[in-house]
Amino acid sequence: MRLLAASWPRRPPPWPRRAPPRRGSSGPGRRWLLSTPIFYVNGPPHIGHLYSALLADALHRHRGLRGAGPGRLATGTDEHGLKIQQAAAAAGMPPQEHCAHVSSLFRDLFSQAAISFTDFIRTTEPRHRQAVQHFWAALQGRGLLYKAFYEGWYCTPEECFLSPAQVTERPDARGRPCKVSLESGHQVHWTKEENYMFKLSEFREPLRKWLLGNRHVISPEPFYQVVLQWLEEDLPDLSVSRERSRLQWGIPVPGDSKQTIYVWVDALVNYLTVVGYPDAHHAWWPAAHHVVGKDILKFHAIYWPALLMAVGLDPPEQIYVHSHWTVHGQKMSKSLGNVVDPLACFRQYTVEGFRYFLLRQGVPDRDCDYYEEKVIKLVNSELADALGGLLNRCTSPSINPSGTYPLFSESCFPQVSDHLGVDAVGRAVAEDYELVASVAHLPTQVSHYFERFQIYKALEAIVACVRQTNGFFQRHVPWKLSRDSPAENRWLDTILHVALECLRVYGILLQPVIPATADKLLSRLAVMPAERAFSELTFLPRYRGKPCPFEGRRLGPDTGALFPRLETQRKRQLETKRS
């Protein structure tokens, strides 16, 4: 990558500046704009795309349940650029039609997946074109763009120029030597043209300062270190337009009909478009929290903050980074034919089962592998057996004939300050007190993990408590207690009361991940919609001598299984053949 000519007036970058108080930053009622990346419409959605959207959705729902002030969740599609131009040509469709079709696939998928988006932006919308052109004019007005001849290796699938160090040579399908991107393996082409350049190099220090002053702005932490490391290296200026003769499918540079705005500048500005830039964004910016895959970290953690600083806006408050899904240990790719269709997964595992799998197994710090048996084993053991089984045991007519939330007896489960060695007082034993302590602490633990973008750990903690509750139930063999004996009756009711209280907590905490299953669980426990926020999560108040609003309440009418057990496709096929 080489810059052939350069001339620009040296002016100090307009950032850091005296920032107005961060409107969204602190206190109750704090605003929050959460975003997914906007998705390329060169092909239908796959499970990796769904994962990006699910992470954002779970964070959004979690925050809503905390009652933490107005929040928005923006998603949408990235519809300009060479890659889309080529995809439309390959499909034999005008680009507008092609984009509308693929964009609707994403929108439909997200609706089916219960992604709670409040805005779905398409970069071909007029509101976005206006925002991008205004942003461009702001960059130009601040003297941060200049024209230069530029040449380098262009990677169309990644829509960016690569440095010589990022390119390697490999034989193509016919054995001829061919240049490819070291990271993605995609072919690159030598491109030479006159472009507008953004003076990115001037932002190296401001970017370092921003990062060093905001140590938690990128999480998980290893990605923060990666970005800091990038800033140790050379930060060349960025080519931000393409010759219109080569790229017609994009937003024209204002006042220069021969140039098209670079698709990444176009795409990043979507985060401002959704909050009404250039007129109404102040109420929401910079309360932006972006969820992004690791492959687009540089665009979000270097280019985007630098562009924002360049126009006098603050960088986003938070960048959450996740790794990728592989399939049977291999990268998903069209050429390998192993791209997993999320709709097929919904049919096979149910929407809720698949949401649960991706969020429970997806670890943002490292790539995760998908295969059928893993989904089935996890969902069956944790949702159908552990959680569904527990609900079933506590509500079945044989054990709970009154169909109510039974009474808690303080004499059976007395409050103690030290549960070690006092088990002689009531009927509860030390492990039962440990269970109560774990579940009482669980909401704080879950919020802690959500705030650190460790949703999988939050789910791990919930499952550990569910298992502990099953252990509690099993330990006291309540089905052997006789309702005819007043003492045993009291203890049996207390066991059910404690188990239902635990289930109520799990139902409330699981809402961001499996909203429909959590709704079913909470409805069965007769927990009203107004009683499902985190502020209502007072666990086992009777243990602390406080009244419990649920005690004696009739349970909800839906007695069906909470979650169906799943079967492998092979087993289902065999069964269909037999019948």
Question: Footprint of ligand MSP on this chain (CB under 6 A)?
Answer: 37-40, 48-49, 51-52, 78, 267-268, 270, 292-293, 295-296, 324-325, 332
Beta bridge partners of 243: 259
Considering the complex, what minimum distance in angstroms separates the CB of residue 321 from ligand MSP?
A: 9
Residue tagged 């960048």 (tokens): 319
CB of residue 271 to ligand MSP, shortest distance in Å: 7
Beta pairing, strands 189-198 & 288-293: unpaired
For residue 115, the minimal CB distance to ligand MSP (Å) is 13
CB of 574 to ligand MSP, least distance (A): 31
**Closest approach of ligand MSP to the CB of residue 166, in Å:** 17
Closest distance of CB 532 from ligand MSP, Å: 30
Minimum distance from residue 35 beta carbon to ligand MSP (Å): 8
Asked if omega into 13 is within 30° of 0 (cis), the reply is no
Q: How many CB atoms lie within 10 A of CB 247?
A: 20
Sign, CA torsion 169/367/208/139: positive
Residue 47 CB, shortest distance to ligand MSP, in Å, is 7
| Cβ proximity to ligand MSP, 160 vs 458, nearer residue | 160
C-alpha span between 363 and 87 (Å, rounded): 32
Per-state percent for the chain, helix, strand, coil, to nearest 5:
45, 15, 40
Least CB distance to ligand MSP at residue 386 (A): 27
Residue with Cβ nearer ligand MSP (3 or 339): 339
Identity of the residue numbered 234: D
Nearer to ligand MSP, 305 or 388 (CB): 305
For tokens 């620009």, the residue is 8
Both structure tokens of 185: 């393996």
- Provide the minimum distance between the beta carbon of 201 and ligand MSP in the complex, in angstroms, as a whole number: 22
**Which residues lie below 8 Å from residue 187, measured CB to CB, with a gap of 6+?**
155, 172, 178, 179, 180, 181
Nearer to ligand MSP, 267 or 313 (CB): 267
d(CA 98, CA 213): 44
Question: If we measure between CA atoms, which residue out of 142, 533, 524, 512 comes closest to residue 307?
Answer: 142
Instruction: List all residues 6 or more positions away from 560 whose beta carbon is below 8 Å from its beta carbon.
Output: none
Q: Smallest distance, Å, CB 268 to ligand MSP?
A: 5
Q: Which is nearer to ligand MSP, 269 or 466 (CB)?
A: 269
The nearer residue to ligand MSP, 54 or 492, going by C-beta atoms, is 54
Cβ-closest position to ligand MSP: 293
Q: Looking at beta carbons only, is 195 or 270 nearer to ligand MSP?
A: 270
Q: Which of 271, 187, 201 is nearest to 231 (CA)?
A: 201
| Structure tokens belonging to residue 50 | 């769904």
Phi, psi for residue 32 in degrees, rounded to 5: -155, 120
Structure tokens that stand for 105 in this block: 């696939």
- By beta-carbon proximity to ligand MSP, the closer residue of 304 and 413 is 304
Q: How many CB atoms lie within 10 A of CB 424?
A: 7
Which value, to the nearest 10 degrees, does the dihedral of the CA atoms of residues 130, 136, 138, 141 take? -130
Instruction: Report the distance separating Cα 324 and Cα 384, nearest Å.
Output: 27
Q: Is 512 helix (H, G, I), strand (E, B) or coil?
A: coil
In the bound state with ligand MSP, the residue whose beta carbon lies nearer, of 226 and 386, is 226
For ligand MSP, the closer of residues 30 and 324 by Cβ is: 324
Residues 6+ apart with CB under 8 A from 176: none
Closer to ligand MSP by CB, 80 or 504: give it.
Answer: 80
